[in-house]
Structure 1
Amino acid sequence: MTDSVEEFRLPDLGEGLTDAEVLSWSVAVGDRVELNQVIGEVETAKAAVELPSPFAGSVVELLASPGDTVPVGAPLLRIRVEASTDGPDPDEPDSDEPDSDGTVAERPPQVLVGYGPGAPPVSRRGRRRDVARPDAPASPPARADAKPAARREAAARGLDLAAITGTGPGGVVTRGDVLAHAAVAPDAGADEVRTPIRGVRKRTADAVTRSAFTAPHATVFLTCDATATVDLVGRLRESPAFAGRHATPLTIVAAALLHAVDEQPALNSSWDDDAQEIVTHTTVHLGIATATDDGLKVPVVRDAQELSLPDLAGSIAASAERARTGVAAPAELVGSTISITNVGVFGVDAGTPILNPGEAAILAVGAIDDRPWVVDGELTVRKVVTLSLSFDHRLVDGERAGRALASLASTLTDPVPVLLSGT
């Protein structure tokens, strides 16, 4: 039996994801790789993912370059797998030997679960760089230790990571290090900076554009007194039940939204254009819009309506942190049925959020500030917040949206009755 050359194909990395962008390779042509060794990193619509090798052998050819968008099932690289020392199998044709008619038998490619042969060709953003052949004498340069966001930023700016000093744990290069380096790098005289549209930002742009032009958006606003909510959060943080759970006003907002969904189920629905049906979801998978170095991500708290208030607080905090640090798996970032975006953390009072594709509603929470407010006919200072509810007008009419927003405001003004009811 002779050596064989196997293709490593892009696996199905998550629910509904059809392609991924190559971020970086950890190997070069001629390198020896072991089974399950990380050989590169790709970015899906939701997260960066490391790729383990399904073969042990030597790298023959890299078929995609950083920046390429590769469909699921397409080949990424070729690895030469050494022949077994146990001898050839007489019943198995050798992939390198011609048949009686002079043709070479094609060996079916080994694929991992979720792979699919026969995929379309790689979509290029530019001409693929030439790669060295296996007999190339040069050794590959050492790969700089850098976070995915730093690699993307450096690639976009044409910077060499090896020339950048890392300030992260253990000297890892962060995106901030890349930006700082770029700020002091010599300027060639250009009066503009061009950044390729790729990765999470590209997919976010595609999603919001599709949403804006397929679902008829409408938004309603309501400002309310959230003093009782702020006071309650202060007491919850001192409760043993919330130890390590990071209670915030967003916790109460999420509980209030779940209560509003219970009253107005249309908020938790979607429009199936192909089947011409309205799908009302019986469970709430709550999306939490989260700003990250890579762009906007929406981690999902699944079956949120089943969670106690402490568990809801803990799940929101944990999901957002996993998204921010880039460790959330793609499956954790898809499947939400309704979402919350907290623009108040940036000091913003209100906005008109765009729906996540497939969702009927999204709630924006503004900054909670001290403002003059009338209580029992007297002017006083209270903690005040503005809520913005955007909705798909095919699924939610103005009356239902207005009632839902009024319910949300009522809960934030006096949260205890709703929380005691368990909804």
Structure 2
Amino acid sequence: MTASTANDQRFREFKMPDVGEGLTEAEILKWYVQPGDTVTDGQVVCEVETAKAAVELPIPYDGVVHELNFGEGVTVDVGTVIISVDTDPGAGPVAPTAAPAAEAPAAPAAPEEDEEPQGRQAVLVGYGAAPSSTKRRPRRQQPGVPAQPAALQAELNGHAAPAVAPAPAAPVAAPAPAPAPAPVASAPAAGRPLAKPPVRKLAKDLGIDLATVAPTGPEGIITREDVYAAAAPAPAPAVAVPAAVAPAPVPAVVSADRERRVPVKGVRKATAQAMVASAFTAPHVTEFITVDVTRTMKLVQELKQDPDMAGLRVNPLLLVAKAFLIAIRRHPDVNAAWDEANQEIVYKDYINLGIAAATPRGLIVPNIKDAGTKTLPQLATELAELVSTAREGKTSPAAMSGGTVTITNVGVFGVDTGTPILNPGESAILAFGAVKLQPWVHKGKVKARQVTTLALSFDHRLIDGELGSRLLADIAAVLEQPRRLITWG
């Protein structure tokens, strides 16, 4: 068995799993282990946040943590190795496997000193040519212009100077005709002007012909100052213009110190994407109704004293949820989904009731499975557990999948109502506004009654105006006369 095979069997790699339904990435929130810690099969090693929830990941191996590949706060793609475990720590040091790879480059013989720098070298496909595999044709020397030093010429061409400067036969050019000394100071006029690539680009941008620029640099090189001088002999006005406009940007600099930038990721990113997709995919219709819920509020107080509800959280949201479920049972066609791929409407014989919950990580919508079959005590129990789990950030992706309709309780913030956006894949969402004492005509007299406003948004591909209106009216009827919880339920 080779050392490499032995290491592969000894070290086990744990990859980021898909803890949801088709999720592609997750952020590492916290590591519970460090390199050198002993772990056992099933032990939780880290907590990650997906686009739906925070989830704890157990390791499926026994051994010692060898390496953590990512730190906390890093978003990792599903399928990427995040931790490796040494399953046989008593086997001693790791067998070396890097030696053969290091010996591989030694196979080709090193080039002899008398070989050309552009000598033949192996080039890996896809990695481009080796640095020394390209030959450059030597620049033809202009008559009467002294040859430039190798380092200078290489710098002007944008390349590093060769390690060993060639020994030029420059003295041959010395006996040149008499005009030779004169062009030394104006070398650009006799041949290609000498300038570094940035200077050439500057001249091109300014529309300056380098042949007309008098060089002042060493060896007759044209400098940036030479180009500026040729473009504007008196550059002072260029400096004066920004000075006159300088006060304008001052407010922007001040406001930058009063801004905060927070990366959008995890639950907030998923929520934003889902809301955009829903708003521009499903044709939303929102209807409103204002209802007297005085009797429902009295029933809430009575249920708190009921022995069957002892120890349970009873609040107005519980009865609104029950009224919503009863209304859907009376109008089952509301409980449907639009299948775009197959161009079908999918009617569902179960109701998974979503409850929009605000958490420190953002808005999530876990749902109560088969809520339509729950008794009032069962619904109260599951509603309390759902809210508590969401606030703790422990909601599982499964709890947020498969919803059919949703309730959002904006009334807890003192808001009358709103126009809620559908949770993707669902048919309707009910906004429950604040309950307030208002003047209301009751039995022919104006009295102070407890009133709320409900808003129902629905997918107009699935629910037409009549069906949506009947559904909302039935919800209001149950809340106005809560005895219908018995007669209709």
TM-score norm. by structure 2 comes to: 0.63
Offset of residue 32 of structure 1 = 2.5
Query: Which range moved further: 383-392 or 54-63?
Result: 54-63
Offset of residue 215 of structure 1 = 0.7
Give the Cα–Cα distance (whole angstroms) in 2 for the partners of residues 405 and 212 of structure 1.
Answer: 21
Q: Paired residue for 1:33?
A: 38
Q: Of 6, 13, 18, which aligns to 1:7?
A: 13
Offset of residue 16 of structure 1 = 4.2
- Compare the two structures and name the one with the higher helix fraction: 2
Offset of residue 422 of structure 1 = 5.8
Offset of residue 38 of structure 1 = 2.7
Name the CA shift for 1:293/1:395 in 2 (closer, same or farther; >3 Å): same
Q: Of 379, 388, 391, which aligns to 1:312?
A: 379
| Correspondence 1:42 to 2:48 | yes
Q: Deviations over 1:141-164 (max 9, x none)?
A: xxxxxxxxxxxxxxxxxxxxxxxx
SS at match of 1:348: coil
Q: Paired residue for 2:87?
A: 81
| Correspondence 1:54 to 2:60 | yes
TM-score norm. by structure 1 comes to: 0.72
Give the Cα–Cα distance (whole angstroms) in 1 for the partners of residues 283 and 51 of structure 2.
Answer: 24
Offset of residue 311 of structure 1 = 1.2
Give the Cα–Cα distance (whole angstroms) in 1 for the partners of residues 50 and 38 of structure 2.
Answer: 24
Match for 1:288: what amino acid?
I
Match for 1:82: what amino acid?
D
Q: Deviations over 1:146-198 (max 9, x none)?
A: xxxxxxxxxxxxxxxxxxxxxxxxxxxxxxxxxxxxxxxxxxx9321111111
SS at match of 2:280: helix
Give the Cα–Cα distance (whole angstroms) in 2 for the partners of residues 414 and 241 of structure 1.
Answer: 21
SS at match of 1:214: coil
Offset of residue 95 of structure 1 = 12
Q: Paired residue for 2:361?
A: 294
Offset of residue 285 of structure 1 = 0.5
Query: Which range moved further: 6-15 or 270-279?
Result: 6-15
Contact 2:69 2:81 in 1 (8 A): yes
Q: Of 24, 27, 36, which aligns to 2:30?
A: 24
Give the Cα–Cα distance (whole angstroms) in 1 for the partners of residues 289 and 329 of structure 2.
Answer: 20
Q: Deviations over 1:250-309 (max 9, x none)?
A: 111111111111122232111010111101110000001111111111121111111111
Give the Cα–Cα distance (whole angstroms) in 1 for the partners of residues 96 and 471 of structure 2.
Answer: 65
Q: Paired residue for 2:266?
A: 199
Offset of residue 199 of structure 1 = 1.5
Give the Cα–Cα distance (whole angstroms) in 2 for the partners of residues 96 and 264 of structure 1.
Answer: 69
Give the Cα–Cα distance (whole angstroms) in 1 for the partners of residues 283 and 263 of structure 2.
Answer: 30
Give the Cα–Cα distance (whole angstroms) in 2 for the partners of residues 421 and 380 of structure 1.
Answer: 28
Q: Deviations over 1:355-379 (max 9, x none)?
A: 0000010000000110010012211
| Correspondence 1:421 to 2:427 | no
Q: Paired residue for 1:166?
A: none
Give the Cα–Cα distance (whole angstroms) in 2 for the partners of residues 233 and 405 of structure 1.
Answer: 21
Name the CA shift for 1:96/1:240 in 2 (closer, same or farther; >3 Å): farther
Offset of residue 83 of structure 1 = 6.6
Offset of residue 347 of structure 1 = 0.2
Q: Higher relative contact order at CA 8 Å, sep ≥6: structure 1 or structure 2? A: 1
Residue correspondence of structure 1 range 165-244 to structure 2 within 5 A: 190-244=257-311
Return 5+ residue gaps in structure 2 as ranges. 100-255
Give the Cα–Cα distance (whole angstroms) in 1 for the partners of residues 62 and 488 of structure 2.
Answer: 54
Name the CA shift for 1:257/1:349 in 2 (closer, same or farther; >3 Å): same
Match for 1:250: what amino acid?
L
Give the Cα–Cα distance (whole angstroms) in 1 for the partners of residues 451 and 61 of structure 2.
Answer: 59
Contact 2:67 2:85 in 1 (8 A): yes
SS at match of 2:429: strand
Offset of residue 421 of structure 1 = 3.1
Contact 1:267 1:338 in 2 (8 A): no
Q: Paired residue for 2:329?
A: 262
| Correspondence 1:343 to 2:410 | yes
Residue correspondence of structure 1 range 317-336 to structure 2 within 5 A: 317-336=384-403
Q: Deviations over 1:299-343 (max 9, x none)?
A: 211111111112112211211111111222221222211000000
Offset of residue 59 of structure 1 = 3.6
Give the Cα–Cα distance (whole angstroms) in 2 for the partners of residues 320 and 278 of structure 1.
Answer: 31
Offset of residue 5 of structure 1 = 2.3
Contact 2:433 2:452 in 1 (8 A): yes
Give the Cα–Cα distance (whole angstroms) in 2 for the partners of residues 71 and 218 of structure 1.
Answer: 37
Q: Paired residue for 1:151?
A: none
Contact 1:244 1:314 in 2 (8 A): no
Q: Over aligned residues, Cα RMSD in angstroms?
A: 2.7
Contact 2:297 2:316 in 1 (8 A): yes
Q: Of 78, 84, 90, which aligns to 1:72?
A: 78
Match for 1:227: what amino acid?
T
Q: Paired residue for 1:173?
A: none
Return 5+ residue gaps in structure 1 as ranges. 86-93, 99-188
Q: Of 305, 317, 339, which aligns to 1:250?
A: 317
